[in-house]
Amino acid sequence: MPLLTTKRKIALARLLQRPVLLCRHLLGFRSQAEVRRSGFRWRLDLGEGIDFTIYALGAFERTSQAACRRFIEPGAVVLDIGANVGAHVLPLARQVGPRGRVFAFEPTVWALKKLRANLDLNPQLKDRVTVEQILCVEKADDALPAAAMASWPLVPGEDVHPLARGRFLSTEGARAMTLDDYLASQNLHGVDFVKLDVDGDECAVLRGAFRLLKELRPVVLMELAPHVLEERGETIGSLLAVLGSVGYALAEERSGRPLPMQEKELYQWVPHGASRNVLALPEECIATL
C-alpha cells in the first residue's frame, strides 16, 4: 500500500468524521466529547485531526506507541517534545510507571490548555508528568517564534499549511531553551527515551541536545518529513549529518531494521508531502538489533 501524504490522510479522516458528527448531532451531542479510550479519559474536539483519531480509533499513532513500549521500561525518564494535546503523554506516563517521569514540552497556548485538561482527567498519571511551555531551540539566544504548528483541523480553511495541513497558533508565554540547558536546569543526569515531533525543526532541536545525545544515549522516536525540513532551510542530508556527529543512525519504527543513511534513498522512501516516524538509535544499539 502506498504511503499516504498528510493531505490525503486529513481528507480521509474528514470523510469518516462527517457521518460520526451527523449521528452525534441527531442524538443531541456536540462535537466536543469526553470519552474513555484505551484506558484513558480524554476531552476531545472532533473537529481536530488528532482528537478525532483518538475518538474513532482509540489511540493516535498506534505503531509509534508500540515502538515506545519496546524501549521504555518502568522507572524510565522520557522527554515528549511537541506534546500537543497529550496523545503520547498519557501512554508514556502509564508506561514509565509510578517511579518514572515524563517531561512534556508544548509551546502553544492552545495545545497546552488541552494537554493540561487531559492530564486532569487522569489524576493517577498526572503526578508522573512535568509540563513545560517550552519551545526547544538550537542555541540559547535563539528568538521565540510568535507561533508554532499545533492544530490539524478537519474543516477546510485557508489558514492551514498547504502540505502539512497544520495551523500555526500562538506561543505567548513560552520560553525558548535548548534541551541541554533544560536538562542542566533540572539536574537531570539520565534520559532513556525521547519522542520528537516538531514539524521540521528536528535538526535545530537535536543540535541543541548535543550533550544529551552524546553522553546519555537515549532512543529517539522522531518524524521524518522532508518537505517541512526544507521549509526550515534543512534537508535529510543535514539531519543525517547531525545524527552522525553524535553516533546515531536511523531504523524503521516497526521492525527496528536499520535504514540507509544516504540522502537519496531516504528521499525515495518518504514521498513529497508525506512523513514517516522513525527511530534514531545510538550506533552501538543498531549493532545489537
Q: What is the DSSP string of 177-212?
A: E-HHHHHHHHT-----EEEE--TT-HHHHHHTTHHI
Residue 158 has pLDDT above 70, yes or no: no
Instruction: Look at residue 234 and tell me if it is in a domain.
Output: yes
From the CB of residue 8, how many other CB atoms can be counted at a distance below 10 Å? 14
- Tell me the pLDDT tens digit for each residue of 5-35: 777 888 888 899 999 999 999 999 999 999 9
Residue 1 has pLDDT above 60, yes or no: no
CA distance 230 to 117: 34
- Say if CB 138 and CB 204 are below 8 A apart: yes
Query: Which of 95-104, 118-127, 265-274 shows the lowest mean pLDDT across its residues?
Result: 265-274
Residue 283 has pLDDT above 90, yes or no: yes
State the pTM of this model: 0.94
Contact partners, residue 278, CB within 8 Å, separation at least 6: 221, 222, 223, 224, 250, 251, 252, 253, 259
CATH of the domain at 174: 3.40.50.150
Instruction: Look at residue 255 and tell me if it is in a domain.
Output: yes
Instruction: Look at residue 40 and tell me if it is in a domain.
Output: no
CA distances, 175 to each of 134, 178, 181, 211 (Å): 5, 10, 12, 20
pLDDT (0 to 100) of residue 288: 65
pLDDT (0 to 100) of residue 155: 80
- Tell me the pLDDT tens digit for each residue of 172-193: 999 999 999 999 999 999 999 9
Instruction: Look at residue 238 and tell me if it is in a domain.
Output: yes
Rounded (10°) angle between helices 62-71 and 89-96: 20
CA 221 vs. chain centroid, Å, equals 8
Unique residue bearing C-alpha cell 468524521: 17
CA distance 202 to 234: 9
Structural domain range at position 280: 60-286
Instruction: Look at residue 269 and tell me if it is in a domain.
Output: yes
Instruction: Look at residue 42 and tell me if it is in a domain.
Output: no
Average pLDDT over residues 90-104: 98
- Say if CB 96 and CB 21 are below 8 A apart: no
Instruction: Look at residue 34 and tell me if it is in a domain.
Output: no
**Number of domains the chain is built from:** 1
- Tell me the pLDDT tens digit for each residue of 27-54: 999 999 999 999 999 999 999 999 999 9
- Tell me the pLDDT tens digit for each residue of 181-224: 999 999 999 999 999 999 999 999 999 999 999 999 999 999 99
Spatial strand order of the sheet with 219-224 comes to 129-132, 101-105, 77-81, 193-196, 219-224, 276-282, 248-252
Instruction: Look at residue 30 and tell me if it is in a domain.
Output: no
- Tell me the pLDDT tens digit for each residue of 129-145: 999 999 999 999 999 99
